[in-house]
Amino acid sequence: MQTDDEDFAGADEIGHVHADVSGGWLRAAVFGAMDGLVTNISLVVGIGAAGASDRVVLLTGTAGLVAGAFSMAMGEYTSVSTQNEQVEREVAVERREIAENAEAEVAELSEMFVDMGMRYEVALLAAQDVHRDPEHATMVHVAQELGVDPDEQPSPLVAAGSSFAMFSVGALIPLLPYLLGFGSVLTGLIAGALGLLAAGGVAARFTAVPWWRGATRQLVFGALAAAATYAVGSLFGAGGLT
């Protein structure tokens, strides 16, 4: 005869595993890749439309790659750190409330359980059981009230590293024709468009969105940015798709 512990172990073994949706490496990587692509496609098109030489376009794009990668990494690190610190602050607030007004917190948690579909009597018993351990109760309250798990916060270093690496990769793609010796606004655009399609399609594989929709969406966004910078560049020179 199986014990309750064995039943739980069996449930774990046959259960499914969810992807990480805490906003860590994947969000930073997708954001970095798309930003790198759009930024350098726009730079290449804008500078090229103004009539700049291939050397100037390559220098500008390289500077954009380095500056953008560091900017993205520092921004991601600061953003994720701030988010985690805010969660830590709310945990401290909840911990203090449970210590000073436990009865009201039990009532609050039982109401949440009722809203989830429990009968009131069961919800009250469940809330009281959770509050047997104040620290566990704190985590449950934070998860229910804020929708986050304090023990599963994204890493600032991972987010920064993902953003830095993927921005660099994305920003490099429109520069590849110039690095290979046959650069022009047109070839830079083609390389960038292929990069946007690939990045959008790959990102969509982590979601329920069809790959072609994700790819098309990113291509449209990139095209809008490129058109804007091409128009600006054209105001300063007679360059074109050469």
The string of DSSP codes covering the chain is ---HHHHHHHHHHHS------SSSHHHHHHHHHHHHHHHHHHHHHHHHHTT--HHHHHHHHHHHHHHHHHHHHHHHHHHHHHHHHHHHHHHHHHHHHHHH-HHHHHHHHHHHHHHTT--HHHHHHHHHHHTTSHHHHHHHHHHHHHS--GGGPPPHHHHHHHHHHHHHHHHHGGGHHHHTT---HHHHHHHHHHHHHHHHHHHHTTSSS-HHHHHHHHHHHHHHHHHHHHHHHHTT------
Could you tell me the pTM of the whole model? 0.78
Show me where the domains of the chain are located.
Answer: 22-234
Per-residue pLDDT of the chain (242 residues; tens, 9 = 90+): 444 444 544 445 445 554 555 556 788 888 899 999 999 999 999 998 888 889 999 999 999 999 999 999 999 999 999 999 999 999 999 999 999 998 999 999 999 999 999 999 999 999 999 999 999 999 999 999 888 888 888 899 999 999 999 999 999 999 999 999 887 889 999 999 999 999 888 888 888 889 889 899 999 999 999 999 989 988 887 544 44
CA dist 112 and 238 (Å) reads: 65
Distance of alpha carbon 170 from alpha carbon 90, whole angstroms: 37
